Amino acid sequence: MIEVEGLCKRYGSQVALDGLDLSVPRGEIFGFVGPNGAGKTTTIRILATLTMPDEGIATIDGIPVTEDPYGVRRLVGYMPDFFGVYDRLTAQEYLEFYAACHEVPRPRRRQVARELLELVDLGERASTQVDTLSRGMQQRLCLARALVHDPEVLLLDEPASGLDPRARIEMRELIRELRRMGKTIFVSSHILPELEELCTWVGFIDHGRMVEAGPMDDVRARVLAGRRLRVELVEPDQVKLLSARDLVQDRRGVIAAEIVDDGLEVAVEEAFPDEQLLADLVGAGVGVRSFARVTGDLSEAFLRLTATAEER
């Protein structure tokens, strides 16, 4: 549905995108992850036809964004990270205005606005002025704005930015509902636990290049290969921690062992016998408070994939 190949964009001497490649299949929720300045917003603006690339090709449903921007705009609904609202319009008038901008036939505009307000749970706020709505309500209204022409693809740049926990949950459920309606959704966010729960595909961008992408489970399996164990000690001091680390790190199957807070974090091979390590620690007189497997998540994958040059 979305195909990007060799996308480059520079702002003076600043390289925003450096040969970016990515692919998003139809009907997926694609989480676009990367540090500040990595090129996420530039990519989304190019896909929305608001910024032209210097090099490379980007297509949506086979339509090149540089050759037929109006054709792309008919397919795409865009929700920017910072949005403007017309404060003195009501929610109903606001959506009708944007329906007119997207050439929705006049007889349909009022009905489209009402249906979208119901979809984003703002039906009872139709006659409320936009500037009196809460931040979360304004976010949902702007998502409704992106839907006025019934696009096949949604480009959402930080849709949960600034929302409280309840509003974020509401936004997440709304995005799921849109996928059930057949939309392909491209979403950028820094709230990684929510992306992990929401998205079916994920891509990591760093310094303008895609460093990893694919189905969520496949990416986690590739990036977080191996297993990690967390060992917390009873009344740890530096001597006990160093002794326990020395005992652990020389064992066959241990990739690395490091001191973390009140214990150790141990990276091991997949077939490593966890129970034997615990028995050996206890047998050596090490006081173990807890011993558990650490589950890798999207945040850990982010840290591994977007390490600084010095860390690499």
Domain containing residue 105: CATH number? 3.40.50.300
pLDDT tens digit string along 83-117? Answer: 776 778 999 999 999 999 999 999 999 999 999 99
Together in a domain, 107 and 206: yes
Domain final residue, candidates 163, 182, 215: 215
How do beta strands 29-33 and 184-188 pair? parallel
Enclosing domain of residue 289:
225-295
Q: Specify which residues 24 forms β-bridges with.
A: 2
Together in a domain, 271 and 201: no
In a domain, 31, yes or no: yes
* 36-50, 147-161, 200-214, 259-273, range with the lowest pLDDT: 259-273
Which pLDDT score, from 0 to 100, does residue 312 have?
42
In a domain, 155, yes or no: yes
- pLDDT at residue 310 greater than cutoff 80: no
Count the domains in the chain.
2
Backbone angles phi, psi at 178, to 5 degrees: -65, -35
- Quote the percentage of the chain above a pLDDT of 70: 96
Do 257 and 222 contact (CB within 8 A), yes or no?
no
Question: What mean pLDDT is reported for the chain?
Answer: 90
Together in a domain, 211 and 234: no
How would residue 71 be classed by pLDDT, with cut points 50, 70 and 90? Answer: very high
Together in a domain, 46 and 181: yes
- pLDDT at residue 272 greater than cutoff 50: yes
How would residue 225 be classed by pLDDT, with cut points 50, 70 and 90? Answer: low
Distance from chain centroid for Cα 295: 19
Domain final residue, candidates 182, 215, 248: 215
pTM score of the predicted model = 0.80
Together in a domain, 8 and 40: yes
Together in a domain, 196 and 239: no
Together in a domain, 264 and 165: no
Q: Which residue has the higher pLDDT, 38 or 303?
A: 38
Q: Please, is 250 exposed, middle or buried when counting C-beta atoms within 10 Å of its C-beta (0-12, 13-18, 19+)?
A: exposed
CATH number at residue 231: 3.30.70.100
